Amino acid sequence: MSKFALLIEYDGTDFAGWQTQGLAETARGRSVQAEIERSFLQLFSREITVHGAGRTDAGVHARGMVAHIDFPKDISITIPKLTIAVNATTPEDIVIRDIRHVADDFHARHSAVARQYRYTIKTERTALDRRYMWALRQNVDRDKLVRSAQKLIGEYDFTSFSKRTSDVKHYRCIVTEARWDFYGTVLALTIRANRFVRGMVRALVGAMVQVGQNVLSEDEFERLLHEPQEVRRAKYIAPPHGLVLEGIEYPGHFGLWNILEGNS
């Protein structure tokens, strides 16, 4: 087997999430993982498992998801031709942006050292951007958004801002960047951490918007961060379509993409 890393972009609107649902796939809807695996099966008549760097929920998009596959050595094809072939057989809402050979010890999930998301809000009704921005149509105190984001820098237990997940041992994450940028009526949060727990970004955005609308006080927001509360877990959830997985960072020796800094 040869190990390949895939850089994947997808529009999550019509997906039930990243992860394949197995026998429940038809009932619950399409998954990104299953579509790509179906493409490999169509091309090579082999079942090739696609191991993602993480999971995105239904409706969440990705510009820089990374996955790895163990590719059979007896199939002779160049990486450029493989990239073209896979893109010819995946649906239009999935694009394999690049494929690279990686060392055998690479793992898309376990080798990652940082992940970055972007959440975008528009404070007015929008037709063109409705699938990719939360059309809030209400004013938000931008200074409070900025102050709330600044409080997130550091290592915290994000139990209050996550959904309960049976396969997660703890909810501690180290956030290294959290900032709001403003472009007219567009508000965009960029957040970067060593790991994210399920629903974390959407719960944080929802809570920060509540702070910006004077529904939740800044002190209450900070208390949820410093004193994790199971009973109030993920109480404020922003809709999924405003969220994009921007990219994933790996140690340099793997020779992978540096798309978070605009290089590939």
Please give the chain's pLDDT, 264 residues, in tens.
799 999 999 999 999 999 886 544 444 689 999 999 999 999 999 999 999 999 999 999 999 999 999 999 999 999 999 999 999 999 999 999 999 999 999 999 999 999 999 999 999 999 999 999 999 988 899 999 999 999 999 999 999 999 877 778 888 999 999 999 999 999 999 999 999 999 999 999 999 999 999 999 999 999 999 998 776 777 889 999 999 999 999 999 999 987 666 545
Domain ranges of the chain: 2-110, 114-245
> What top-level class would CATH report for the domain 114-245?
alpha beta
Using an 8 Å Cβ cutoff, are 174 and 158 in contact?
A: no
Let me know if the fold of 2-110 is the same as that of 114-245: yes
CATH 3.40.50.720 is the classification of domain 2-110: no
Rg (CA), the chain: 19
CA atoms of 201 and 182, how far apart (whole Å): 18
User: From the CB of residue 27, how many other CB atoms can be counted at a distance below 10 Å?
Assistant: 8
Active-site positions read 57
- CA distances from residue 13 to 17, 61, 92, 137, 203 in whole angstroms, order as listed: 9, 7, 12, 21, 19
The predicted model scores a pTM of 0.93
